[in-house]
Amino acid sequence: MRQARRALPIKEAGSNYPEAVHILFLMLILLLCLLLWEIFPPLLFILALVIPWNLKLRREINERHLAQEGLRESEERHRKLVESLNGAVYTVNMNGIITFASGQIRKFGYHPEEVITENFIEFVAPEQRERTLANFKDVIESKVDTQVQFIFLKKDGDRVWVETAGRTVFDASGNPLYRIGIMRNIDEQKKSEAKLKEAMEKAEAANRAKSEFLSSMSHEFRTPLNAILGYTQILTAQSGLAGTHKKQIEIIGTSAQHLMTLINDILDLSRIEAGKQELNFEAFSLPSLVQKVFNINRMRALEKDLIFFHEEMTPLPEAVWGDERKVAQVLLNLLNNAVKYTGAGSVTFKSGYREAEDTFFCLVEDTGIGIPHDRINEIFEPFSQVRNGSGFVEGTGLGLAITQRLVRLMNGELVVESEEGKGSSFGVSVRLPKAAEEKVAEVQPGPTIIGYKGPRRRILAVDDNYSNLSLLISLFDPLGFTVDAAEDGEKGLEKAVQHRPDLILLDFMMPKMDGLDVILKMMETEELKDIKVIGISATVIDKNRKRKFIEMCQDYLTKPIDTALLLDRLKHHLGLEWEYEEMTSPNPAPRDPDDAMEKLPPTEVIESLRQEILQGYFSRADKLLESLNHGETAYLPFCNRVRNHIRKYDDTGLLRFLDSIRPAAQ
């Protein structure tokens, strides 16, 4: 039987014999057996049983071999897949023992066999083990994917940040079996995050330093400006001041206001960049604002001999709702830039209002140096300027940067078109809904206040700056107030206890004890807690202490102080009734020589003046007046009247005046 089995040509795995040949060979043997049936019947019976069993066994061997080959190929594919992952795949049991680690663990200095059977916590930095172990206990029974970051100890002793992402595998009954996950090196990411955090902290520190600097500089600038503008308002209100002196005082006030505008520009940019700029809506006269902005820039245009005119494309509503100061700042900046960058030619200011959209729009066109196409976006960057031929341009380069940010703040639109060497065109549109005309507060110069009715009131002024104290004394003393002064918070409290004033004017920033400390002490003192306080500060950068200071004051004013506003606040808080200077005088004032219209120039001269004014050539009109006045003093009253309109940039009034005298001219 063993010999018969050895004689059977059993096909081996991988054999090249075709199956048909194998079957044919067996059939030949079977035929031979049939021929020998009579001779060896038992042997043939055995062969009949063995041959089918042999065939079945052969098929099973082949199938098992193919299954093993498939399993090996599948395992190889999965191994390659696991090894190709950007991280080491691992499994840990419920006790934290590592039961599998892929070859990627070699990147951390370990062979897989070195970590298997070890507790994963041994590879965590000692200072993080307690937290990491507690986290493992929290997530081991969780059915959601989790991520954990910790410092991993490499075999060479190095420490690197890693991140593990994994999930827990459960059996059919919902019992946790083991946890599978992947661990990847995030050390470079952590270093980048640390650098970014450090850079952000430095940037925040720099921003805080900038805010502190701006706050300090604002205080330093506004303190002397408060005295300049305050005394200017006091002197302007005095009667009997000579006309020349009054004009000089007005120039001082205008110059101080211009300096204040520059300071506000820098502070505005800082606020806008910090996202702290807010809109203050109020009703204001749009035509008055447009005319005022136009007139402010007219002098510079006349000095450069530019054609400078305003075209009203559609009528403007008398009253609108919006932030008047910010709208004015946008228009001023655009007109100022147009005049600055135009050496010869014209500057045109067009304005209008779209009723259907409640939108104010304007267009500022110039024939200046223009802007290169590739630099149009740069002009809106802070401190960026387009150089003219001389290479020098006045200003800080903040105008357009502030303008763009203010327009965005008002949800408006700013567009620019420019061609180098030919000029530029800036267009702005801002929604300004109409308001009732009676809502517009018109500032009218009122009569001069000389005192108040009733018992004398006592005011305590607390400020560390002598000029400010002197200003307040100069303002209140002539009105009949009893004024006490203190140069710091401690002395202010002493004098408040001593004199019990009706009201305290309290500065916020002072050495030793600032305004907030003073108010807090007053709240703790029974005899002082009911005294009204008007807070004053030259610091415009908001801080927590300043906000609390403002909240605890009955009122608050920013330096430079508007004396008219301060007097109004005093009237409100002390219930005062002002006494005013009599407007009539027993001795009639001498007649203004400008009113003595004894002789008018010829009609052709008046017509020439009209044409120069219509075209915006105020400097030419002034030269025409000089030639008219040369050798002929009789025209002096007329020339003074015209020059008075020119100084005020009042083209409308001047044209109305010239039209009114044309019929009387010879």
| The pair of three-digit structure tokens given for residue 488, joined into one six-digit string | 């710091």
CB 87 within 8 A of CB 183: yes
- CA–CA dist 6, 24 (Å, integer): 18
pLDDT score of 506: 94
| The pair of three-digit structure tokens given for residue 517, joined into one six-digit string | 């400390």
Q: What is the pLDDT of residues 603-647, one digit of tens each?
A: 888 888 887 777 666 667 777 777 776 655 667 777 777 876 766
pLDDT score of 341: 86
| The pair of three-digit structure tokens given for residue 551, joined into one six-digit string | 């909240």
Neighbours of 620 (CB within 10 A): 17
pLDDT score of 121: 92
Q: What is the pLDDT of residues 12-53, one digit of tens each?
A: 444 444 566 666 766 777 676 666 555 556 655 665 666 666
Number of continuous H segments (helices) and E segments (strands) in the chain: 19, 19
φ/ψ of residue 283, rounded to 5: -80, 135
pLDDT score of 458: 94
pLDDT score of 593: 39
Largest distance between two CA atoms of the chain: 171
pLDDT score of 172: 85
Q: Report yes or no on whether pTM surpasses 0.85.
A: no
- CA–CA dist 565, 403 (Å, integer): 29
pLDDT score of 484: 92
Spell out, as residue ranges, where the chain has pLDDT lower than 50: 1-17, 389-393, 395, 441-444, 584-598, 666
Q: What is the DSSP string of 353-397?
A: EEGGGTEEEEEEEE-SS---GGGTGGGGSTT-----TTS---S-S
**How far does Cα 462 stand from its chain's mean position?**
36
pLDDT score of 511: 83
pLDDT score of 1: 36
pLDDT score of 352: 94
- CA–CA dist 264, 633 (Å, integer): 47
